[in-house]
Structures are given as C-alpha cells and as structure tokens.
Structure 1
C-alpha cells in the first residue's frame, strides 16, 4: 500500500497487517489508537451515500431492497460480475414455517411456537435463542413478502418422505429433522422447506432445474427497480473506515480493478459478503474439523467481510461451525426430502458400532463424524445393509450406488473381516439391532419405525459413508437481533455497522437444522439490517 492513495493518507484508515484473501487485502486493527487516526474532515471521498452494502447475495439484496424501500440511498458493492452469490446457485430450498399459506394448502397446520421449539433443539449447542425467536416470528411474513411483493412462486403440493413417490413439482418438502423421534418431545412434526423452480440453471448451480435463482432473481429485479439503489459490480470491499472520535464506522474502502475508491456511508455499512469456506487459512484456524473439505459457494466466500468486521473490533460467534453432507446422502434421503432407503440400514464406525439414528437429516450425521474426537474411526463409516434393502435403491441410480459398496459377504462375520472391524463387534451390533428390529423397535437410538427392518438376508453389504466434497461455514460476526455487529471489547453494538447472511452468526449453532435455513436467515436478517440501517440518523 502506498503512502498516498486516491488522496487519502494511510492515517485515515485503521493500521494493521494486510491479510491476503483471494487477492484482496484486508487491514487489521492491531496497534491502532485514537491518537494515530486522522480527522474525519481530512478524508477525500470518491462517492457517498446513506448505506454501503458489501456483497450482493441473498442477504445483501434483501438489505438493499429494504433500505431502498425505506427511502435510503444505497450503494451495493459486488465482487463478481453479477449478483447472487451462494443464494443464486443453491438447491432452491428455503426454510419457512410458522403456519404459512404453502403449508396450509398442503394440509399442514404449523405455529410459530411449534416452529421455535423445533429450531431451538435442532440447531444445537451455541444456537442463539433470542435470534431464533425473531427468525421464526418473521418467517410467515417472509413467505408473504417473497410471494406477494417480490414475486417468488412456490408451486402447490408436497414432496413426501420415502417410500412415497417423489413429487419433483411440489413447492413444499421436508429437508430437516422435523420427523426424527429425537424431536418428538418438543414439537409436532411439520414440513417447512419451500422448494422453487430456477430461472434456468445458473453457472455453478448445485442442482438441476430446481435452484436458488428462483428466489434470488425476482429479488434482484425488485432491487434494480429502486432508483435509490446503485450497484457497483466487480468492486471488492476491502476495509471499513472508522472514526475514533465518534467511535463509529463511517465508510468503506474498496477496489475496482486496480482503482482504489472510498465511499462515505452517512448512516451505516452492512456487511453481507458471505462466509469463509473458500479461505483455507481461515478454515484451518477456525474450523479445523472441516478443513480439507472443498468449499461450497462462490469466490466471495473468502472471509473478507468477517475480516473487515474484526479489524474494527467486532466479536465473532461459532466460527468452528459449518455445514456439510454425506457421500451417500441421496440414499439416506429422498430427493430434497429427509429419510430414504439407506436409512433402513445401520451406520457403524470403523469400530463396528452404531453411533447415531440413521434417519437423521443428512447434515446432522457428518457433523457428528467430523467433530468426534476419534475422527479417524468415523470417517469413513459404513452403512450395513442386506439384499432386501439393496432392492429398495432406485433402479436408475443402482449403478452409481454400487460404486459406493466397500465390501460384500455372505455373512456379517465375513463382512466384518473384510472391513477390519474389531473381532465380534459388528456381529454383536447386528445381533442386538435385529432383536429389536424384529419387534419394530430401535431401543438405542429410537429410529422411526418406518426405517426399522431386520438385516438378515444375505448377501450383506458395507457402503462407504464419509463427509462429502462440499462445506460452507455458519459462524461469523456476532450480531444482535437488530443485525448490529457487536464489539468484542465492550459487548455493545459498533455504531454504523450491521451484518447478515453467512458474514454473520445468527441462529445456527452446532447443527444446521435443515436445508434452506441459511437462505432464510439471509432474507430475514438482511431485511432487518436494511430497515434498521435506514432508520439511523446520518452522522454528517
């Protein structure tokens, strides 16, 4: 960095070591003091607005729409040539509950309280119950906003759980653990995942015709229709400008190609730049259990937005938490619906012992495998099935499935020998399981009865199961229920700074809870950030 850049001296910005992230330098806070900061009036601004938004994915677009609708002038910075981020390329799933029209039309009666009880337990250790309460209370409103204001279409119908036939056209499915017996003590099982048709198949889309463009592109059109919103594409947010006298964020330093620009934010900056799954150093430092699994997202998921917040003293939460799935997830589930034919088997570690109910949501299982202290014994694990269960695998995917089979044998003892499990362990596991299964019971892990069947018909198979080649992070900047970023030093909001989406840590804890939770939090907390930022009093 030169002494003088675009008329702004180094003293105008926080001092610290530059952290290289995907070619973008982010400045740290270390060593900065009030005495070294230059007066605000000495800064030469290239542009100014009420609100600067860094990152125009789902959270950024929701924030921009809300702020622009509220009358604020907005400049949104987007690293890529087009908006969307991970939201645009995801599988078209969004978690919506509390009793919306889509649920009611499919014959399901939900409530905010029922939704809340499920989410508190399903999101696991480290989940923020205050934020969960806000999230679930806003969910019915979010559905109405998406369908009636933004123009997102959820087709009627329900995609049922296995073994009922797949309904690919349905707008409602169940991707989480709602029907797991582990949650029967707190909530009534209700499907809560909206499923949209994509507007074509975007480059990098994770799925086919059902993808996130179906609920992002209508939002982007709504954003583009608001004259007060200006989008700067191929513009990377780099640093926050912090006024030490006023103790607040007052702008953003960014890069357009090789050109450095500074943008004054009269009211606030909203960080919505994504997570850090594509930043290997951050994954190794913060999320070691998931380190080495290829990142799921776009190049914007490089952690820059989190680093920007940290540089002005922001606290973080749950930086060790992430989402991934299983290599055999599509057989533990039905197309975008939890529960599938492989859930009838037993999942064992390399010790030959069960460790989880096999009908859990397919992100819950790899979380257990990766975060267990004996990772080497849980990755890979093995799904043990017999010829009856193999016959339930759809014929269209049978060839692909057989490639996952690690061993085949005429007896469990021979299968154990092929896998190298401790002598007698796998045999005892199956003997014990089969006794209960003959009575329709899983006395250890309480699997749903529909997935309980004795594993007795030779030949027997061991299917290799391990965390898949995709991970995204769920930890980030600590925010409150108004989406304000919290100071690590004071525990109070940092004036003029908001965050949402994967840039922030909101409702999620040790577990993910169900496909589409991430997108839903982007929209709920993105809108909150936009509204609250628009309500700020301009500092100048």
Structure 2
C-alpha cells in the first residue's frame, strides 16, 4: 500500500492486487515502526540520527547485510514515516523502551492494525488507485526480453508498465521454511496466513536471485498451550530466561533474535521466563491478556517457583543471585547490565520459540529493483519489505526490532516513486 500511494502521488495509475481479504499482511501484526531522527523524537528531546541507527543495525547483523540498503533504510526511515503521517493523519508517539536499540526509536500509533486501517482509508480514497481484494497472483508475465509486463491472476491477465512485489516473506509456506530455514521447521508460525513466498517464487521464475533466505525473526517467548505471546516489555524491564537446569544462557536484551536463536538448539526449543512483582506491575497493561488466561505460575520463593515449573531449584536460585549481584553495579557474565534486583514473590512461564516472519528474499538495489545474478536489473520488476533481501543479514541472530516494517515502508516508497518516474521517461 505504501508503494501504491507513492506511485499514485507521483502521477501513476495504480492497481493494487491483494491475495486475501485480510489486508495488511504482517505489518498489521506489528506494534510499531522504528526510525531514527524523526520529528516525534525531537519533540521529546531524543537525540538520534541515521548514523547511530546504521551502527545499531550493523552491530546486530554483523555487517552481513547490503551496506547500501542499510544506509537507505536508516536515512529514509524518518522522512518516510513523517510523509505517511502527513498523508494519513496518523499521530505517532515514541515508545518508552529502546528494544535493543541505542535510542528510543519505536513509533507507535495504537498497533499495526491501526496503522494499516488508516493507510487503507487513504489509499482507497486516492483517485489514481484501484484495489482488488481476494485476487491471488499466479505468475508474472514477461516479454521476449525478460521484462515484466503484467501478472496472471486467477481471474485473468492484467498488463502493467511496472510490477512491484510486496507479498511479504514465506513464513506460512511450510515447505519453503523447511528448505531454507530447517531450524525453524515445525515451530509455531504467528504471522499472516497469506505470506507464502509468492514474490520469491515469481521473482526466481523471472530470473531473479535471492539472499539471506535463512534469515528470520525467532520470537523467544511464546506460550504455546494458549497460542499467546508473552509481552516483550517483560524482558526489557528485567525478566530473565533460564533452561531446565535453572541456568541463564543469553543476554536477554538481545531480544528477540539473541534468545530465540539460542533456544532453537535447546531441548524442546523452549525455556522459562522469570520475573517478579515489580516487573509485573510495570508492564501490567501489556500483561493483562496473559494474566486473564493464567499463562504463568507464582512462587513465594525461587524454590517454590522452580518446583511448579519443573526446573532445577538450585540452578534458578543461583541465576537470580548472580543477576542480582550484577545489578549492584556492572554487567553479568552474558554482558547484560541489570537495572534492578529480582525479589520474591516470583512469576514464571514455560515459553517456546516461534516464527514471526522471514527476513530474506529477492536481491534488490537502492531503487527496489529486482536483480539478476550478474547484478543487472530485471526490467520493470521491483520488490520490497519481507519479499526483499532485507537488512538483517543471514541466519537468526541479525534481526533488530523494526527491520521488517522499516524495509516495507522505505522500499515501498522508493520503489513506487522510481516506478512512476520510469513510466514518465
């Protein structure tokens, strides 16, 4: 939808074809958009800039993502967010937690669905945009030179001067997950059901190449019995994760990819999330659904909690003692800097790692144009968001919160504008 709006504002006539009758894809399931140097940050006195953002992204992905794309996302994220706010009337606020970033960058507006709802309203009203819901695209139509000139849908052929693929990743396609991310095979998928790798399939058929296909978001605190995620602020307010032996195994603040990637190699791909009354109070609103469904247990001591969870009490007691010792000043053995002591009564839940979205896809340049193996572009074809290679690099550890939606809005706008300009040349 971002690409459609950008292209339409640049003078193009746009047909937006949506596979399902459930709009928004995985964007509707997100909590915020993460950008650096926005007017909303400045209003709150937050000093931030694209260079600091680039450093954070690169630190997390180990420098293994396209430097050009990382730079583009960091530099254009705030301008694109402000453009969307101006066009849709959305008022963003900056969330309190840094969520793995060096600054507070998460911009919320009441949840992903609230953002998508306003975006749909704006796109629907634009005179240059037509939307067709429940219209799956089966393949691209290419001319004799290999240029994209349209799409084949279940309802017929549609010709086009440019085609932008924005169908998300492939998390809902079990065969593709098993092939590209064997470690994630069989873990619960929590994303949009229509995200089945259509862009990757069509792009490959058109001569494109893929990158970072084993990259994904392994969400580490999913309560599998009730299909309920434990809220992210628990970790950032001081919760810890332990294994069956009661021992910690990671710096939990490298959330979600750090703990999630480690848990993929643990027995049952699960761990135990431990927190106390202070943390429960501080995240009471986010924890409300979990409390209502009784997803965790309580212990007046760490031994009692360990007994109820079925984990080693000595190990848990030692983990809490070591964590509290570090809270008195300094960092713990995993590099985490605790901000407060953990004290009884304690709360805990068994949690499983789950698949929220994939982060690899078609290789693209800084215009969002799909690339061939030799680095040349596939004429008229673009890709964005989780349909593209993204900025998380390979594997399960490079994801920084916000990477997916950042590539969706920035590559959407860039690709839409470039496609519209190209039609006018």
Match of 2:118 in 1: 218
251, 257, 266: which is aligned to 2:150? 251
CA distance in 1, matches of 2:247, 2:159: 59
Change in 2 beyond 3 A, CA 1:330/1:262: same
Give how far 1:393 is off.
7.6
SS in 2 for 1:357: coil
CA distance in 2, matches of 1:226, 1:387: 50
Distance 1:102 1:312, change over 3 A: same
**Which of 214, 236, 244 is the aligned partner of 1:339?**
236
In structure 2, distance between residues paired with 1:110 and 1:354: 33
1:94 to 29, 33, 40: 33
Alignment of 1:354-433 (within 5 A): 354-370=248-264, 374-376=265-267, 379-384=269-274, 394=284, 397=288, 399=291, 403-405=295-297, 415=306, 419=310, 429=319, 432-433=322-323
Which of 505, 508, 513 is the matching residue for 2:389?
A: 505
Report what 1:227 is aligned to.
Answer: 127
Q: In 2, distance between residues paired with 1:100 and 1:154?
A: 10
Structure 1 vs Structure 2 CA RMSD: 3.4
Contact 2:141 2:152 in 1 (8 A): yes
Displacement of 1:101 in angstroms is 1.3
For the pair 1:152 / 2:93, whether they are aligned, the reply is no
> Is contact 1:95–1:192 with CA below 8 Å preserved after alignment?
yes
| Contact 1:412/1:460, CA 8 A, preserved across alignment | no
User: Would the alpha carbon gap of residues 435 and 523 (structure 1) be closer, same or farther in structure 2, given more than 3 Å must change?
Assistant: closer
Aligned to 2:403: 517
Measured at CA, do residues 537 and 365 of structure 1 come closer, stay the same or move farther in structure 2, by a change above 3 Å?
A: same
1:177 to 100, 106, 124: 100
Compare 75-84 and 472-481 and name the one that shifted more.
Answer: 75-84
Q: Return the alpha-carbon distance in structure 2 between the equivalents of residues 264 and 324 of structure 1.
A: 38
CA distance in 2, matches of 1:426, 1:218: 46
Query: Counterparts of 2:22 and 2:412 in 1: how far apart (Å)?
Result: 19
SS state of the match for residue 17, structure 2?
Answer: strand
CA contact (8 A) 1:78 1:234 kept: yes
Distance 2:302 2:78 in 1: 52
In structure 1, distance between residues paired with 2:23 and 2:293: 36
Runs of 4 or more, structure 1, over 6 Å off, are 386-393
Q: Secondary structure at the match of 2:331?
A: coil
Please, which runs of 5 or more residues in structure 1 have no aligned partner?
1-60, 162-173, 179-188, 197-209
Give the 3-state SS of the residue equivalent to 2:92 in structure 1.
coil
Q: Quick one: distance in 2 between partners of 1:62 and 1:446? A: 39
In the alignment, structure 2 segments of 5+ residues that lack a partner are 224-228
Check conservation: 2:26, 2:357, Cα contact below 8 A: no
Separation (CA, whole Å) in 1 of partners of 2:383 and 2:138: 15
TM-score (norm 2): 0.84
CA 1:133 to 1:382, structure 2 compared with 1: closer, same or farther past 3 Å?
same
SS at match of 1:235: coil
Alignment of 1:134-213 (within 5 A): 134-154=72-92, 159-161=95-97, 174=98, 176-178=99-101, 189-196=102-109, 210-213=110-113
Whole-Å Cα distance in 1 between the matches of residues 275 and 356 of structure 2?
Answer: 27
CA distance in 1, matches of 2:13, 2:381: 16
Task: State whether residues 477 and 485 of structure 1, in contact with CA within 8 Å, keep that contact through their aligned partners in structure 2.
Answer: yes
Q: Kindly state the Cα deviation for residue 419 of structure 1 after the two structures are TM-superposed.
A: 4.2
**Is the 8 Å Cα contact of residues 243 and 271 (structure 2) preserved in structure 1?**
yes
Residue of structure 2 aligned with 1:289, choices 183, 207, 212: 183
Q: How far is 1:193 from its partner?
A: 1.0
Deviation sequence 1:424-478 (CA, Å, 0-9, x none): 76666556555544x3333312323314x266x6x7776423224x522111111
Aligned residue for 1:474? 359
Cα distance in 2 for partners of 1:394, 1:217 equals 27
CA contact (8 A) 1:293 1:471 kept: no
SS in 2 for 1:240: strand
Contact residue 474 and residue 505 of structure 1 kept, 8 A: yes
For the residue of structure 2 that corresponds to 1:381, the secondary structure is: strand
Please say which structure displays the higher CA radius of gyration.
Answer: 1
Q: Deviations over 1:390-411 (max 9, x none)?
A: 7878498585586434x96967
Partner residue, 2:226: none
What TM-score do the two structures reach when normalised by structure 1? 0.67
Q: CA deviation at 1:103?
A: 0.6
Task: Name the SS for the 1:535 alignment partner.
Answer: helix
Larger RCO (CA under 8 A, 6+ residues apart):
2
Aligned CA distance change for structure 1 residues 436 and 115 (closer, same or farther; 3 Å): closer
Instruction: Using the TM superposition, give the Cα deviation of residue 265 of structure 1 relative to its aligned residue in structure 2, in angstroms.
Output: 2.2
Tell me by how many angstroms 1:291 deviates: 2.2
1:316 aligns with 2:254: no
